[in-house]
Structure formats: structure tokens, C-alpha cells
Amino acid sequence: MLRTALTAAVREELITRNVATPVEPPRVRQREVRPWTLEETLAFLEAARRDPLYAAFVPAVAMGLRRGELVGLRWSDVDLDNQVLYVRQQTQRRRGELYDDDPKSRRSRLVPMPARCIAPLRRHRLRQRENFSRTGVEWSESGYVFATRNGRPVEPRNVYRSSTRVAADAGLCVVRLHDARHGTATLL
């Protein structure tokens, strides 16, 4: 960061030389990811059955979806009959505001859904419709799959908090939900 700032200062002729250029930056140690085994993944899903976000955890570990992709998912992106899911956006929080953005790859993609994901999503949709009708929120195909009582997207941080709580309660090593992507690749 300092090298970049000094380079800009040289370019703007505020200084004559960037003294940080010859300095070797320290190597960043990569954090080793140890994804869950199949047994640990199944134990997590079993423990998560009672969690309101269970229907989010299943595609996270079965399909390797990112947290922002899960939170940004809309019912119009989910085709339960054909067992496919369209990743068209992600929901992120930046500077205190939730916003929808393109997926990380900047391209939408079609992802086949394993049969294991279908039943939890169907139950979740029925429960969401019931909850919305009780609270007076209009349910819509363009609405968020994982929404609060007022129809807004679930807070991405709450998905993480819920997954770590479930993992800890199940006696599992707590991994970031994003590391479930690595676990998906390993299990596949």
C-alpha cells in the first residue's frame, strides 16, 4: 500500500524517488483450509434441520454456493421442477447498505440442483408464504428466497453467524460458510 502511494507521489512529482521500490514485501502465509469430511458435513446438515436457514445451508454445502449468492437468490431464479438454479446476482453489505450486484464472475450461471436440495427449498417456500401472509407481506416470485419477515434479504452476516452456531452446537470444528465451497469440491 505504501509503495503504491509513493508511486503516485512520484507520478505527481511530489517526490523524486520511491524509496519503497527496492523493498521486498513480506510473504503472506495462506490460511490452510480444512473442509469438513462427508461425516462432518452430514452431521452439520442434521444439526441444522431446526435452524430457520436450513434451506440455505443445504445448497451451500451441496452446490458450493457463495454466501452472497445464497442471500441474493430470488424465487424466480429457482426452478424446483427442473432441478436447476440460476445464479444471477449476489447480495452484499458495503458501507452499511445492502445492495445487489453481479455474481463474482460477473456472469450469471445455471447450476443443476442435487435432489437433496429440492425438499428443503419446497418446505421453505411454503413456510415463507405462510409467514408472509401472517405478517401482511406480499409473497412474490421475484422476492428473495431467504428473506426477513418484511421481505428484505437476510443479512449475509447472519447466515455466517447461524452456520457457526450450528457447527459449534454439533461439536464440529467451525469453518467459514465459504469454506463449504472447498468441502463441496472435495466431496464431489
Looking at the structure, tell me whether residues 115 and 45 fall in a common domain.
yes
5 & 93 share domain: no
For position 174, what pLDDT does the model report? 85
Does the CA dihedral 68-108-148-82 come out positive or negative?
negative
The pTM of this model reads: 0.77
Here the CATH number for the domain that contains residue 67 is 1.10.443.10
pLDDT tens-digit series, residues 89-126 = 888 888 888 777 777 767 778 889 999 999 999 999 99
Residue ranges making up the domain that contains 20: 1-30
41 lies in the same domain as 8: no
**Residues whose CB falls within 8 Å of the CB of residue 183, separated by 6 or more in sequence, listed in order:** 35, 36, 41, 61, 175
From the list 187, 166, 155, 174, the residue with the least C-alpha distance to 49 is 166
- pLDDT value, residue 30: 78
Statement to judge: residues 62 and 90 lie in one domain: yes
Same domain, 15 and 93: no
Planar angle of CA 16, 18, 23, nearest 5 degrees: 155
pLDDT at residue 79, as a whole number: 94
As for how many domains the chain has, the answer is: 2
- Say whether both 5 and 85 belong to one domain: no
- The alpha-helical segments, DSSP class H, found in 21-145 are 38-48, 54-63, 67-71, 115-135
pLDDT of residue 124: 95
Non-local (6+) Cβ contacts of 168 within 8 A are 174
53 shares its domain with 93: yes
Residue 95 and residue 42 share a domain: yes
Tens of pLDDT, residue by residue, the chain (188 residues)? 888 899 999 999 999 999 988 888 888 887 777 788 889 999 999 999 999 999 999 999 999 888 889 999 999 999 999 999 998 888 888 888 877 777 776 777 888 999 999 999 999 999 999 999 898 888 787 889 998 888 888 888 899 999 999 999 999 988 887 777 777 877 77
User: What is the model's pLDDT at position 169?
Assistant: 93
